[in-house]
Structure 1
């Protein structure tokens, strides 16, 4: 059974920035999400974990409106967004970095960033901050993005998502297929984003990276949330890791 968030007094805990309640999603004839309940607190990094096919990517795409929820509620900053089109959800302050990254390979790094800033030129101070997070982008600023390595393309995809201030960043498997040195660079970049107060919902298959970054963790299985809590508690409980994920974090040290 999925864990439904317990009712608590608003005076005790702040309202989460994002809340899903009973969300079902169908893709054609397939019923993928079976009543998802989850919360993402503001200013924290929440990991979304689970075995392949658990429904993690579908959850992100449903939040973003790329796939329409069949039923249930998706509330962002107190506003119901389940029926909104994707452009309106983006304008509300949610950015999405898909596993495919979605960069323009024929355009330069600079042009990719410029296109991502829809409201005008990127603020110079923000641009300096972004290039501080991802120094490789500065080195390849005027090269076509298609010339970048896989890790550098991932960095560009994240930089595009934060070219303008966002309230929530959805990121799907940013370390997938990356060399260990690039994984370490990605971990450091997300630590810096956390330190800057960004709110992030992050799907990740590298459980070592997840343990290094997560404030909170949500685990899905077969289209349902089967566990939610503090990341440190999952890190400390190897039996729970085995039961929920089929392996322990130690296997990814």
Structure 2
């Protein structure tokens, strides 16, 4: 989008349910989600390794953490509900929301081991992007600690474009953090959207839920077909 003379800033994303085939994103609710989330995360301290805080030391501390998220007005905290069993297995934020520029980020992604590397986890990111671009946002961001190789691989797999490294960007847990920046912009979203939808289609999975084609493979095939 280059001519912005008629462009209007989108609204701040509302806290609403985002419904997919394999997951549902619900506005985070301490009473409804805390116990299930804690049960999914309690034996996985590695989940907190690259987050800007340490793992809570008990359910009460975790409830307080979730409550602090819910109380904030500058983020949209969402619980990730696995449609296969209806249980909350992770949470994430829409954050760094700047409607005046049409920019928002998906971040503070906290996925339990049972959610990681599943189609449910992938669909959650897709639902966030579809929601934001549907509202009229121009740029969808992903940022992570440069040491977090799995997060950087995930960003590339989802279709985010690497933009560069912010050196000495933060001090986190008493250590330097260089931050890797990625984004998808509105002109790229239709192709990314088509790849997500093709990958998430039921016929891309066998009876055991194993993918037939990877997301990057699907995106490359669609790009080649369009170019041809």
Same fold (TM over 0.5): no
Give TM-score scaled by structure 2 length: 0.31
Give TM-score scaled by structure 1 length: 0.29
Higher RCO (CA-CA < 8 Å; seq separation 6+): 1
